Structure 1
């Protein structure tokens, strides 16, 4: 969770490598992956498809033109030995990718991973964390989106090397495709997935470009008869996971030859065939189970059945109607099999009218409502692809030369190329073409775009990638493709923030931009460079300062770095320049170079700030707090110096009272900026905690208070990292109060600790809790370990464990079960409130800051709920815990059964809980500030709001 630090290095040059024999194009798709290649040493060779051997049934291997992007992990003993073994494997396999993983995984969804590519682009989770399958069974190995993507590529590499033993894939020139709308981190992680698979000679290309390259390759002798200078080509690439729009301009080049320029790409939309499956499943669920939502296992089967129904009813020769049946699962399942009739008319209503409505060119997509969140992915909030396309064509009108702009105020495409599995349906293809034609035919009733043929939608992208490999070697027709986005750096002045153009959209691969601007970097302190991006402002120049319009300019993860000095106390400020470069493989490099020195540091995106949780973790109003009078701070600093400094004269006991007096305000009113400044001063005075146990306990207490909740302000992750490195969870004095204050400190800043740090803190507390649990439930041993817990330490230890939201579901389940067993023990009555509070945090349906993939299963939460509500006595902590355990989220994988929620709501009413808590259980909703503070465990800093 620490910030990404710069590393001193020289900027690398491009190393020359001998051209390989084969050019290989790999389409790493959301639903299917494909590989094509060209043998450059064979005269007249044409692009070929590499049929990928894969398991299609236990013990059966078959080479197929595509590799379905699905991963399945078998349960122990599920298949006979060698059932999943591949021709190149030396031992038995327990996992499979491809056709069998897809087909068999439909019936065992808890062991299957799909849509890894969508997760790779999900800016709301840690894409390097092991979180897939999202709702996997307890014994399945979790993998990161990067690792899953790497396994697909690794399978391709091994299959290729098995066939071409003397020309291994890692030695070939590979063009790997990705959506044009992938953000910078998704691009970097795609390269990382390839590297983990052993593929280092990789160049990236955007999928819509690759699809158009394929069209050029197929029309090598005739494409100039179809395209003339001045025309615009629209590429609509809609696959299983994303909708990608790209504009390519045909311009006159030398000798009147057409030159192609990719001039615009759309924003990233997780909207594709998967969304159609979900929408149809929601519709049919109402018919199959009108009263209750389907359980998660049946729901997963229904979603996959809906993919088959979609293909049947939107394909040629569609039936009028069909019966869908869901089998009974388990011998005790009430109601048995479910079935209903589905008609072609209702499928068309849900899918065609829902996703391709006949909207107007001026319509705006709805960005306020939530899209499907069933699988944790941030699907586009508006399902209407036609509205997103209209928005795309309007917002990029300026990329067309003024004399060629259409009167509608939007780009009118002259030619259209459809790509992606979405367009396997002639119904969907024709509807989108009809809507597009109607938009621009008002002035010319006979106008319609020319449709460019694409006969192999499943292979076009990989074939185009292979063709691009030829283009890079000087053969074929090139599409000039610059950044298609403009990158900015935030520049602060007089309390405001503007965006300075850092890399313009006109930047070409290999081009380096030097900003004529000097930044001051202070040694041993973090420096943050706010970054922004725009896919609509495409004509800004390097160094140009523009206001930040949220509609045009979006925030990116910032760049953060710390320049280390030899001694912490050095207070040196270094003048530096920024350099930016678009690399040949399609990623961005940023460098910080010291003025008048050869010292350079490569800067990296702070990935953590983009991958913290599934939703925004916090909102901060620190800007509205105003600046603290410097004389007040000086008075506060003097109190700290006189308490912890080398010549301390103040007693530590009344520290908070002395600070209140010096600042003229109670500590609950201290602004967050003051708290963080006070933290910095306390870190400089850290040695003063060694003066006495009282000094240490006061120092620990105030340090945790100043840094709570460990996130919320820029650079808080660095502050927590510095605190961790200094303390490592240890105390200097063998004193109960110091140990208690240490536990409180880590609880307060737990939200800023990474998973490894949280595990390190949790382990000794788990050991002591296990010993206490054993002694109090079975009368067994463990007294020595248990004795390390005083009653007060047990309370603080459990509250700390409840705050460690990055612990896995397995660790949380163990802790919660032990505390449930201890709830009714009379000897632990003083700790009962802390135990209930902890159980609520551990079993919550909506975490404060942690990712959803670490939640305990809802079945476990239901057991804990029953344990609390059946206790003979209750207090407010029980009510708070029940609200968290039964809180409604409208996610069937998290929510307790409706009956359990109703019982919880009735119990809360009986206990005279607030109406708001009852409503949150019955209907869902957000917590107010007081409720947030209760869940957090104390008041939050002024101006900080936790949002879920």
Structure 2
């Protein structure tokens, strides 16, 4: 390939002296750089200065990706001060953080990169360390990643004071399988670290660039045109598979490289091996019992060191593990166990790299690892995922015209010719050898023991950073480029009798490419919400832009939809616009969409909404609610007529008869109304919103119906917009004081769609009323801020407070403490059962609609269980609350003590609880329909399920 060809936008890259590559890893980070002023430039590694022990700073090639929150004594003593610090820092990253944090896991942030791609939590929320100590300041995954980059930034500036890192060309690596949201959050982390201008490159590509850099003089003798290169990159947190095809450039005759495929995002790596080994050692230490959470965290970090030692070069035959005492009731002192190399090899090789067939599919059950809250891959067998990846891309990137051509070949086209291994996992000779053995077995025949060509990689831990720096020079027109196509096809859903989608950008797309979707003219309505369902496929790579395909979820994976309102800027009334879609693949690999009007010069740019990472209904456009079907328009027109007769300008009907009349118009009982009907009723009610002010009865009925039609506030297309419109119309705008209770019902019903700020705004006056009730019970003075709210008289106060899952943890804890104090009070006896329901929702082990970071520490759930035992309420509701507080998750940070669990199971049996409730406490599982109704507070719309059971 030509050595002087530059990539797009390279013209602006020649201004900085240095080109810097940063490997922002799950377990370790590294920095490599090129001094571009050197005529014969080469890639060098930055020695990153960091605290390695109290009061001791050294330069190391690796910066361990660990963040340790210091104790007050460590801060005041200056034990973690760095040369460039003006004041003693409150935290450390790197070697000291990793080593000291092993003994203090409640103060340690680890695997932030895995959390950055976790769609089940709010990645912008302060949730790390996961289940940390009470006095530790929490960080979001974005901020934790930013801390590592900030340290690198400061270390670089100290090393090169005249060449600030922010003014250099900086290339940051990320997994090839990161979705667009995770990529954007990586960019945000870099901005917070003072690096506003960066380039992203995928780690497997960077690893291959590092190999090309090392073999700049002879790489063409090792890899020839027509060969397929498999890059298998398995680090601490992820498994990444990439295929690169070597081909001949028709114009120059040179060999060129094309990235043709990437695998799915798998949170499966060295961390999983650590957990498995820790579980194995745990059984040696305590048999069938489980270690307390704090000791378990220490054991997991210890298991990592045991794994690296026993599976590394020149490993010993055995290692003795000593676990310090944890003060548990179960364990009275330190524990000790011996682990042999042979048992570790058997455990980890057979568990993670088993000998499987090429066609063996990964298992789809839930991962056994729940301890860290991460969505680990369901099947730990990396070889099954690799085999599936190779089989799925058997013909990807081939230039042969038909598959018949392949049938005449002697080798399976899924076979890679060349393999490059990268990532910390392959520092182990045993793990390397097993993976190569399995790959060879897939394509060997009797009498023909085939093996791939293995490319050398002397530094598994530095290759990605080195390759990123080399790529920076490639962008300047120097070096050998990989033509990286998108390796995924993107689609947008379109309306029709069957779910269909239109290809926006094919898997063959390259950075900087534009796609006008010809022949597909869409009509959109302006000034009202619209949704663009998005899909991605790593298997359908040859669909051309504009191709219409059936939505098969085995081939198309839903992405967070784009939800927006297209506005004209000229008129507020609704207008129709005929548009054509335009797609652009940016240089950093982010897909941008535009709606361009056909008959006018207007266009609307659509972007992936990072806010969707905080919502639990990530695939809302694929909700079961849409699949319930849609009611005939004539029936809906009859509903609108009846609503207008109650709330319209010429209203003639009383509000009390509206609900039965709607049921009559639809010819179905209200509990059977599909979500599509409910949302249409919501639209009608908002249209006649002014009519609610006619009387207190009108407003009460209007609020009641709006809440019923919009419950639970999520799960249907553009529900976020509907909730926002409802908030604007209702919040603080009640026309009649008597409507206050119905407003509480409304907010409780749609609480799942309210933002954290909205939930807190609703809670504040109610919390003041609860606190006032407690103060009165203690004979203390009461503030006038409590107003006229009375928790004894209004049960909806308790129900709403229990439904606000996004309230800050400390607010929930205070509310729970107030409830425990008030439970035995005679004045609140009628509210006791509802208060117990609220306590169950506050302390639930599995959220109904909130992300996992809303779950309270388990010790509070245990305390509240004891309070309910002392003051039980109605059997059914109390039993459900007990189940929520004790429900098994197999995450020892969330699960109650085993002895307490056994006691609860017996107590529920004596109380005559349903067998399934008892099973949820004993073994875990999903809620049934009746249980969902009790947890939610009333029946949910058909097709909508709790987040925990989705």
Give the TM-score taking structure 1 as reference length. 0.95
- Structure 1: any 5+ residue segments left out of the alignment? 1-11
Distance in 1 of aligned mates of 2:449 and 2:943: 59
Specify which of 285, 297, 300 is matched with residue 300 of structure 1: 297
Please state whether the residue corresponding to 2:894 is helix, strand or coil: coil
- 2:774 corresponds to which residue? 773
Identify the range of structure 1 (572-581 vs 702-711) with the bigger mean alpha-carbon deviation. 572-581
Specify which of 50, 56, 80 is matched with residue 54 of structure 1: 50
Deviations for 1:697-716, whole angstroms, at most 9, x for unmatched residues?
Answer: 11111111110111121111
- 1:676 corresponds to which residue? 679
Give the C-alpha shift of residue 592 in structure 1: 2.0
Give the C-alpha shift of residue 637 in structure 1: 1.1
Deviations for 1:859-906, whole angstroms, at most 9, x for unmatched residues?
Answer: 111111011112276543222211211111211111111111111121
Give the C-alpha shift of residue 638 in structure 1: 1.5
- 2:271 corresponds to which residue? 274
* Contact 2:630 2:674 survives alignment (8 Å): no
Specify which of 512, 515, 538 is matched with residue 514 of structure 2: 512
Give the C-alpha shift of residue 829 in structure 1: 1.1
Does residue 726 (structure 1) correspond to residue 729 (structure 2)? The answer is: yes
Please state whether the residue corresponding to 1:945 is helix, strand or coil: coil
Deviations for 1:39-88, whole angstroms, at most 9, x for unmatched residues?
Answer: 11123232111111111122221111111111111133344332222222
Distance in 2 of aligned mates of 1:221 and 1:53: 33
- 2:66 corresponds to which residue? 70
Q: Where does 1:721-870 land on structure 2 (aligned, <5 Å)?
A: 721-733=724-736, 735=737, 737-776=738-777, 778-782=778-782, 784-786=784-786, 788-790=788-790, 794-870=794-870
Does residue 197 (structure 1) correspond to residue 193 (structure 2)? The answer is: yes
Distance in 1 of aligned mates of 2:39 and 2:791: 82
* Contact 2:626 2:716 survives alignment (8 Å): no
- 1:941 corresponds to which residue? 941
Give the C-alpha shift of residue 447 in structure 1: 2.6
Give the TM-score taking structure 2 as reference length. 0.95
- 2:546 corresponds to which residue? 543
CA gap 1:585/1:759 in 2 versus in 1, 3 angstroms: same
Specify which of 421, 424, 427 is matched with residue 427 of structure 2: 424
Distance in 1 of aligned mates of 2:785 and 2:670: 37
Specify which of 259, 266, 270 is matched with residue 262 of structure 1: 259
Deviations for 1:529-552, whole angstroms, at most 9, x for unmatched residues?
Answer: 111111112111111112222222
Distance in 2 of aligned mates of 1:193 and 1:859: 33
CA gap 1:569/1:697 in 2 versus in 1, 3 angstroms: farther
Does residue 106 (structure 1) correspond to residue 106 (structure 2)? The answer is: no
Identify the range of structure 1 (56-65 vs 779-788) with the bigger mean alpha-carbon deviation. 779-788
Specify which of 373, 376, 400 is matched with residue 373 of structure 2: 376
* Contact 1:740 1:792 survives alignment (8 Å): no
Does residue 93 (structure 1) correspond to residue 106 (structure 2)? The answer is: no
Report the RMSD for the aligned CA atoms in angstroms: 2.2
Give the C-alpha shift of residue 658 in structure 1: 3.2
* Contact 1:394 1:409 survives alignment (8 Å): no
- 1:704 corresponds to which residue? 707
Give the C-alpha shift of residue 319 in structure 1: 2.1
CA gap 1:860/1:869 in 2 versus in 1, 3 angstroms: same
CA gap 1:873/1:681 in 2 versus in 1, 3 angstroms: closer
Identify the range of structure 1 (627-636 vs 933-942) with the bigger mean alpha-carbon deviation. 627-636
- 1:524 corresponds to which residue? 527
* Contact 2:559 2:618 survives alignment (8 Å): no
Distance in 2 of aligned mates of 1:766 and 1:344: 57
Distance in 2 of aligned mates of 1:630 and 1:583: 42
- 1:37 corresponds to which residue? 33
Specify which of 341, 346, 355 is matched with residue 344 of structure 1: 341
Give the C-alpha shift of residue 385 in structure 1: 1.1
- 1:919 corresponds to which residue? 919
Q: Where does 1:174-213 land on structure 2 (aligned, <5 Å)?
A: 174-213=170-209
Distance in 1 of aligned mates of 2:440 and 2:132: 45
Give the C-alpha shift of residue 626 in structure 1: 3.5
Distance in 1 of aligned mates of 2:678 and 2:569: 28
- 2:130 corresponds to which residue? 134
- 1:315 corresponds to which residue? 312
CA gap 1:410/1:761 in 2 versus in 1, 3 angstroms: farther
Distance in 2 of aligned mates of 1:281 and 1:85: 33
* Contact 1:720 1:753 survives alignment (8 Å): yes
Please state whether the residue corresponding to 1:80 is helix, strand or coil: helix
* Contact 1:376 1:614 survives alignment (8 Å): no
Identify the range of structure 1 (820-829 vs 648-657) with the bigger mean alpha-carbon deviation. 648-657
Give the C-alpha shift of residue 665 in structure 1: 3.1
Give the C-alpha shift of residue 577 in structure 1: 2.0
- Structure 2: any 5+ residue segments left out of the alignment? 1-7
CA gap 1:157/1:125 in 2 versus in 1, 3 angstroms: same
Give the C-alpha shift of residue 566 in structure 1: 6.5
Distance in 2 of aligned mates of 1:43 and 1:590: 42
CA gap 1:44/1:356 in 2 versus in 1, 3 angstroms: same
* Contact 2:517 2:546 survives alignment (8 Å): yes
- 2:633 corresponds to which residue? 630
CA gap 1:715/1:646 in 2 versus in 1, 3 angstroms: same
Distance in 1 of aligned mates of 2:553 and 2:40: 52
Identify the range of structure 1 (362-371 vs 688-697) with the bigger mean alpha-carbon deviation. 362-371
Give the C-alpha shift of residue 612 in structure 1: 2.7
Give the C-alpha shift of residue 623 in structure 1: 4.3
CA gap 1:569/1:233 in 2 versus in 1, 3 angstroms: closer
CA gap 1:941/1:161 in 2 versus in 1, 3 angstroms: same
Does residue 170 (structure 1) correspond to residue 172 (structure 2)? The answer is: no
Identify the range of structure 1 (338-347 vs 22-31) with the bigger mean alpha-carbon deviation. 338-347
Give the C-alpha shift of residue 732 in structure 1: 2.1
- 1:7 corresponds to which residue? none
- 2:357 corresponds to which residue? 360
Distance in 2 of aligned mates of 1:628 and 1:567: 34
* Contact 1:643 1:651 survives alignment (8 Å): yes
* Contact 2:229 2:244 survives alignment (8 Å): yes
Identify the range of structure 1 (765-774 vs 246-255) with the bigger mean alpha-carbon deviation. 246-255
Distance in 1 of aligned mates of 2:725 and 2:138: 30
Give the C-alpha shift of residue 751 in structure 1: 0.4
* Contact 1:700 1:741 survives alignment (8 Å): yes
* Contact 2:844 2:885 survives alignment (8 Å): yes
Distance in 1 of aligned mates of 2:9 and 2:743: 49
Identify the range of structure 1 (467-476 vs 55-64) with the bigger mean alpha-carbon deviation. 55-64
Give the C-alpha shift of residue 785 in structure 1: 4.3
- 1:4 corresponds to which residue? none
